[in-house]
Amino acid sequence: MIKTLVSLNADLASSIALRYICQMASMVDMDIRTIHVEEADAEGNPPGTGWVRRTWEKGLLGTAEAEISQLINAERASCPTLSSPKMIVGEHEAEILRELEEGSYDLLVEGILLSFDTSHFENRMRSKLYKKMDCPLLLVKNLVALNRIALVIDDHTDLPSLVSVFSKLFEGAQLKFDLLHMILQKPGRLSFKKDAQDAASPVSGKKSSILTKTNNMLTEAGRPPSEVKTMRDVPSGIADSLQDYGLVMACLTRQPARKSPMLEVLSRVPSAVLLCWQ
Amino acid sequence: MRILIAVDEKPYSAHAVREVARLAANTWANVTLLGVHATIPTSGPAAREWTVNDPLPKAVRELRETFLQHFKEEECPYLQREFGYELIEVTKGVWEELYVAKTARKDLKAKIRIGNPIKEILAEAQEEESDLIVLGCDQARDCTWEDSRILPQKIVNDAPCSVLVAKEEKQVNKIVCCLDHDLVSQQSLEMINQLVTLYKAKLVIIGLTEGEELKVEVEKKMDAILRYYTARDIEPWVEIVELSSLGAFITQEAKWGLMALWMGKKSILEKVFPKGKVDKLIKGSESSVLILR
């Protein structure tokens, strides 16, 4: 069972994330816990200690608790296993990190609205929380049907990490997935090539071997992909070609460079993004 | 729903009529085809000949046929039925063969008005309480009309109701709806619903922001819209776009097919697209444009 922590706020992004993870829980064996961290800064610095502080925190959480409960109650009909949220006052990233460590979670889920300005996503990826957390991260941008998963690799992907995380999270799940090798190109036509054709291509050499290697690793792990393809395009074109997938999974470095092509593609993908760290 | 199609004799008008026919097949809307003639001879043989030989009445008549061709005769809600006898139960247990006339279930009017085309189209929309005006335009000439270059832009600016400028032969794969306020009518939601179904297109709801964050009321409205469409088996995407990037966004998204803007008194879109700038949007965008009011 995948122990999952869903970080919630009373907003649209969280509402979407909650609905998406409930959908996923119908396909993957999951134990979903929810948490809301009320930032103290919004109401000033916490006063004193003991009952004074507890009373202050209780007051602070009052409104938020009602809003978050409303969010969860709205989804309970379709997701009966949802429990009451854990409510904490504190600094968001530090509290989530603490909860992840104490609870030994397998997955953190957060909502983030798709933005035309890719810097929103890129800045989020540089957060302290994401730099320090151990488990994979699922960022839900839209409520889409989890019909097919795209496993995206590039020449820098840590393949063992990707295969290991994917196999663990989707063990036993009957979900179709494709293995896609991303090769950036200057503006031009998108080309999807199946690996057999790619092997015959004069530019394929190394790329083909990466695909073959990953394909073999997945097959050995008992998860052979439905299709194996190479995508050649600019980042926005690759993101467009990924828009029909319900989930896009990739590995990222913890401090991705501002011009990381993988980061740019993931920032433009409209569906949910599942990240493992390398 | 009551749709007014503003037409002239050019091919782009035939395209607009075909698009409305597809929409009407789903919605069973009341439809009016309207051509506007600047002047007509009022006396003499020329006046008598006008109705038959003038290109505009002929075009309107042909466009009416184009519209009706979209429907199978037995299913067409716009056809007048014949008179005939029918056995009807007049009181309990008593039946009588009555001579009945079945009229068309929905209106399809073909009209011609005389005067300034812009004024007459707007007047017709006002008098008929149209919910939507649809018109085509010549894309090769910056989305203009042959005899009145500014007509599409003026109608978009001044119409009291929603307006769809249907670009010729543009495949609609994605309907992108921009929202920056919370006053969205049920009718406009339903109209988008019909268009999504009609084109089998992807729906994207865009929340416009003036900073990084959406206004709370806009976010709540987007959530409500998302739930509304999800309950109807439509899976819209949501995306946020800063107003400062709206131009670039529209240019990028125009390739997909249809751009819809929810305009309103509280809308910042009214600031971004004041009357002088809407024509830029209509001309500049390769996609069809729907202004929702």
**pLDDT at site B139:** 81
A246-255 pLDDT, tens digit per residue, is 999 999 988 7
**pLDDT at site B15:** 92
Last residue of a domain, one of B122, B148, B169: B169
Looking at the fold, whether B175 and B152 belong to one and the same domain comes out as no
Contact A116 B237 (CB under 8 A): no
Domain extent at residue B52:
1-74+106-169
Contact B241 A143 (CB under 8 A): no
Domain extent at residue A37:
1-111
Separation of CA A48 from chain center: 38
| Chain A residues within 8 A of B212 when measuring between CB atoms | 120
Q: What does each C-alpha distance from B124 to B1, B8, B114, B160, B200 come to in angstroms?
A: 15, 15, 11, 11, 31
Nearest CA in chain A to B253: A116
Looking at the fold, whether B214 and B271 belong to one and the same domain comes out as yes
Residue A122 lies in a domain: no
The CATH number of the domain holding residue A59 is 3.40.50.620
| Chain A residues within 8 A of B226 when measuring between CB atoms | 12, 16, 143
Residue A255 lies in a domain: yes
Answer whether B243 touches A (CB < 8 Å): no
A122-169 pLDDT, tens digit per residue, is 989 989 999 999 999 999 999 999 989 999 999 889 999 999 999 999
CA B141 to chain A, closest CA, distance in angstroms equals: 28
Q: Which residues, at least 6 apart from B228, have a Cβ–Cβ distance to it below 8 Å? A: B189
Residue A194 lies in a domain: yes
CA A220 to chain B, closest CA, distance in angstroms equals: 36
Looking at the fold, whether A107 and A163 belong to one and the same domain comes out as no
Q: Which residues, at least 6 apart from A212, have a Cβ–Cβ distance to it below 8 Å? A: A195
Looking at the fold, whether B136 and B11 belong to one and the same domain comes out as yes
| Chain A residues within 8 A of B248 when measuring between CB atoms | 116
Looking at the fold, whether A102 and A230 belong to one and the same domain comes out as no
Looking at the fold, whether A278 and A150 belong to one and the same domain comes out as yes
Looking at the fold, whether B116 and B238 belong to one and the same domain comes out as no
What total of structural domains would you count in chain A? 2
pLDDT of A203 strictly over 70: no
**pLDDT at site B149:** 83
Last residue of a domain, one of A111, A129, A158: A111
Q: What is the H or E stretch that residue B13 is in?
A: helix B11-27
What total of structural domains would you count in chain B? 2
**pLDDT at site B217:** 84
Residue A132 lies in a domain: no
Residue B93 lies in a domain: no
Lowest mean pLDDT among A57-61, A237-241, B14-18: A57-61
Looking at the fold, whether A148 and A230 belong to one and the same domain comes out as yes
Residue A25 lies in a domain: yes
Last residue of a domain, one of B143, B169, B195: B169
Looking at the fold, whether B112 and B249 belong to one and the same domain comes out as no
Asked if this assembly's ipTM is beyond 0.85, the reply is no
- Measured CA to CA, the distance from residue B254 to residue B172 in angstroms comes to 10
Residue A138 lies in a domain: no
The CATH number of the domain holding residue B205 is 3.40.50.620
A249-262 core/surface letters (b: 16 or more CB in 10 A; e: else) = bbbbeeebeeebbb
Q: What does each C-alpha distance from A73 to A218, A244, B231 come to in angstroms?
A: 38, 30, 17
Last residue of a domain, one of B150, B169, B188: B169
pLDDT of B7 strictly over 70: yes
Residue B85 lies in a domain: no
Looking at the fold, whether A156 and A275 belong to one and the same domain comes out as yes
Looking at the fold, whether A155 and A102 belong to one and the same domain comes out as no
Looking at the fold, whether B248 and B128 belong to one and the same domain comes out as no
